[in-house]
Structure 1
């Protein structure tokens, strides 16, 4: 196949009609279940501390119960990789939804705090399985020319659900006056998501029909006609065939090079994102703003973030992964550092609003980057075990960041904690600049 033929085929495949057909065929089994799961989870998360308080928890204990969901997701990534490798993505998503239903019933009927905490942990485990199965499916089935946009849209559907979910919870509280209404709403969303997964058109058949010649699963080539190499943790020089699915820990060891380098860069991005969610409300409180103003500023930042999710995918597909990763990390890192110097100024509220918007732009430009980079460097014939390790690293970064912000703020000041997270962002930007060109298996 000649270079010109490859370029022509990719150009034809990337037409607007092809993209629309791809999105419609992914919607029933990927995007639809994702937004349903995220809507239910987004409605539940703000009310978890209230459910704990109803059972006698004080503030620290309620926070511990709420964190059980995050811990469950962190612990569930590697087992989820094992499950996807053995029973497939569709079965794992269905089982994950069923396990989450067990957690929902536990939350709704729990008579004491230990069961409530365990139920939140189980939901986190199920969320890990659900998310990793989606990621693995997109990695192996979606053509390379469309990968970043498809994964950015996946991230956008999740963000939409998490953004709208709390408003649904508020409406349910207004109607029923009971926090458990949001729990049962999550259950309804789970039932609908599992039905979509099980009854939707076969994703294997639908997506395979849309793969262009340069991007077929058995002949993954980029627009220049070069074979996509399997990642070995070393500089990519050619295609490396994969014989048989490897175990989770063997996969982690085999890909230790990319996980310890690009994986840690990805973890820094996840940490900065998570720190933003914690630091902005705390900053507003520390400069004396009222709750309504803080909510407005944070909401505007979130709206900017959501508005840019698809633009991130377009940038990555057209110009390369670094063109989205570097601006995102530099904006968020510099935004945190600059915000740290405005705490005691006369215009602190104005600077707070400005840098909240800057952080929203940076986070929006990073939409789908972690999913896309994980898909880029994963073994294409057996990505599940690798993606379990990748997602564990990124989730760990997101889980550690709030603890760092709290610890540094308690030991020194919130300004120092905010500046420290800015430094993490700038160091992460340098790491992306160093390792993305080395490990991402395309000339970008």
Structure 2
């Protein structure tokens, strides 16, 4: 790989690497707040609406298993284009769904496609971005997705107001997927920014025996083939600190289901819900760089624990406001506070995974670490759905609040053991 200044490299790769991700994220951010609303409008009960919303995360968890194999066979760019098209198929299914069951199938398909897009995007960045600026590039990529989750709800609110149809919000994600696919097709190959042709990047000779290998495909293939073996090999840290990571994932995904579901339960419309969640998303987006600064300067614990404690308190506060006269005001306040707490922890899972991974061969552990976090992300909405069905949505919020505080205790115990803070001056 030819050397180049970080500034030049970042500018060269920015459009091709970040634009497709931004378009896809804007679309996803547009539909997440309205899935429970659509399900409810099609006749779903509140618990089943929560279940339908959870299926996008369940789909991502299921899709994590074959996505590495798929990307290793057809490449990153082709995988992202294919995932965008499959996602469109799921979105059209949602758009035309005559009942909540068909809607659930469409949401699950969207989740499966999202998993492939996410892994392909990771391999894409790993392939093209020089090691010396990789951390900044991946951090910026996280900010791009938060930007999408901020912008998307406002677009869906506008489309709903213009058309008078809640389902029309799915058109925003359809447009985002089409835009992502087209941008991947027409933009200049990022490898050219580093003075390389795609064939030169994709095929290099190994030192031992001259075997021809593919760097990006090797990364994702190892992630896919060794996932369950790696989970068993690193079961100690994954059970201990990994349980804290799973709870972080759970608290984050839970808010994506709880907030729109809560809005349905207190009678808010789809456009009002999208606007409130979009405003909260602005707070989340604004803090992604601050979180990195906190972690680098004071240590991982000072980002992870305030994030979990803040989210736990927010869930607990929400649980006692459902029947208050000012419940809409409380909902707005809690939504913003949740985003503040979540923003403080921006990038914590990726950073902890990087701290723990073998520096000479990080891919197997990172694949297992991501699967652990995704398991928590997929489990939380199902838990919310189940508790809501058995008791009430207020109790479900309270249960999530307690889990957040339990997660904070786990992080306090195990983050210093597995990821001790090293002052920047001593690195």
TM-score (norm 1): 0.70
Q: Greater shift after overlay, 327-336 or 414-423?
A: 414-423
1:365 alignment counterpart: 344
- Alignment CA distance shift 1:22-1:362 (3 Å): farther
Deviation of 1:32 (Å): 1.0
> 1:425: which partner in 2?
404
Contact kept? 1:68, 1:121, Cα under 8 Å? yes
Going from structure 1 to structure 2, the CA distance change for 1:134 and 1:263 (only over 3 Å counts) comes to: farther
What residue in structure 1 maps to residue 241 of structure 2?
Answer: 262
Measured after TM superposition, the shift of residue 148 of structure 1 is: 5.4
Counterparts of 1:178 and 1:77 in 2: how far apart (Å)?
Answer: 33
Tell me the residue number matched to 2:291.
312
Q: Deviations over 1:328-361 (max 9, x none)?
A: 2232234445666778999988776655544332
Quickly say closer, same or farther: Cα 1:350–1:106, change in 2 above 3 A.
closer
Matches within 5 A, 1:58-97: 58-59=44-45, 64-97=51-84
Paired with 1:174 and 1:197, the residues of 2 have a C-alpha distance of 31
Residues in 2 aligned to 1:91 and 1:269: alpha-carbon distance in whole angstroms: 31
The answer to which of 381-390 and 21-30 deviates more is 381-390
CA contact (8 A) 1:333 1:421 kept: yes
More deviation, 315-324/331-340: 331-340
**1:391 counterpart residue number:** 370
Looking at structure 1, the residues matched to 152 and 138 of structure 2 have their Cα atoms a distance apart, in angstroms, of: 21
Does residue 123 (structure 1) correspond to residue 102 (structure 2)? The answer is no
Would the alpha carbon gap of residues 400 and 353 (structure 1) be closer, same or farther in structure 2, given more than 3 Å must change? same
Corresponding residue SS for 2:346: coil
2:34 and 2:260 in contact (8 A); partners too: no
Q: 2:302 aligns with which of 317, 323, 346?
A: 323
In the aligned structure 1, how far is the partner of 2:133 from the partner of 2:180? Answer: 24
Counterpart secondary structure, 2:65: helix
Root-mean-square deviation over aligned CA pairs: 4.3
State the Cα distance separating 1:76 from its structure 2 match: 0.3
- For structure 2, list consecutive stretches of 5 or more residues without a partner in the other structure: 197-218
1:99 maps to 2:99: no
TM-score in terms of structure 2 length: 0.72
What CA distance in whole angstroms lies between the structure 2 residues aligned with 1:176 and 1:342?
Answer: 32
Alignment of 1:27-426 (within 5 A): 27-46=14-33, 48=35, 57-59=43-45, 64-107=51-94, 116-138=103-125, 149-176=136-163, 181-204=168-191, 206=193, 245=222, 247-279=226-258, 300-337=279-316, 356-378=335-357, 386-408=365-387, 417-426=396-405
**How far does residue 268 in structure 1 lie from its aligned partner after superposition?**
0.6
Q: Is the 8 A contact 1:26 1:207 kept in 2?
A: no
* Deviation by residue 1:104-145 (Cα, 9 ceiling, x = unmatched): 454456677765543332221110111122234446765677
2:87–2:110 CA contact under 8 A, matched in 1: yes
CA contact (8 A) 2:28 2:173 kept: yes
Distance 2:99 2:331 in 1: 41
Tell me which protein shows more helix as a share of its residues. Answer: 2
**Does the CA contact (< 8 Å) of 2:83 and 2:116 recur in 1?**
yes
